[in-house]
Copies of this chain bind each other. A is one copy, B any other.
């Protein structure tokens, strides 16, 4: 498969996937990089370059077959693999992630939730059990878990990171608004909601620059 692929390209891949899925839904069979560029606010050459990172695709002058390209990008994104997630922290973010139907449709299945609050332990959220935070290590040792979602307050996040890393979990989706420390063998993607809102604020403040 591909050699080095830049972060910028990787960041664009889910957008292509989403757009192609939308086109497929609308019954579009074939699309040119020109047309796709117009719809996605990208230049046709950028689209061709991005897609070529992963091997030749599309034919000069013919464009791309929508379903084929969607499948191809889905494969590149690893969406053919099933992913089993645990969510640590059953606050509003943990609940939102657990309740978000799209994830399970895309092969990300939440198998357990963990919380330190005994009032939450034993409940079922969207069919998924809430277990005691104390049982984290035991659960991971007895079940297949691919991804840990960190949805605890920022002061508790590093400890959760350390615990799941010690259990051998390699992938973390972090919602706590801090920069976690971890071994370089770990794969960590952060959703810093405040960052996103601050970027909106930046753009509002500089709209007339």
Contacts and interface: CB of A to CB of B under 8 A. Distances in A.
Interface of A: 1-3, 5, 10-11, 13-15, 17-19, 22, 40, 76-79, 81, 83, 91-93, 95-97, 99-100, 102-103, 106, 108, 146-147, 170-171, 173, 177-179, 187, 189, 191-207, 209
* Residue with the highest number of chain B CB atoms closer than 10 Å, among A5, A99, A197: A197
A22 B83 CA distance: 33
A140 to B, nearest CB: 16
How many copies of the chain does the oligomer comprise?
2
Contacts of A192: 14-15, 18
A108 B18 contact: no
B11 A199 contact: yes
A201 B81 contact: yes
Contacts of A147: 200, 204
Contact of A187 (B2, B19, B177, B200): B200
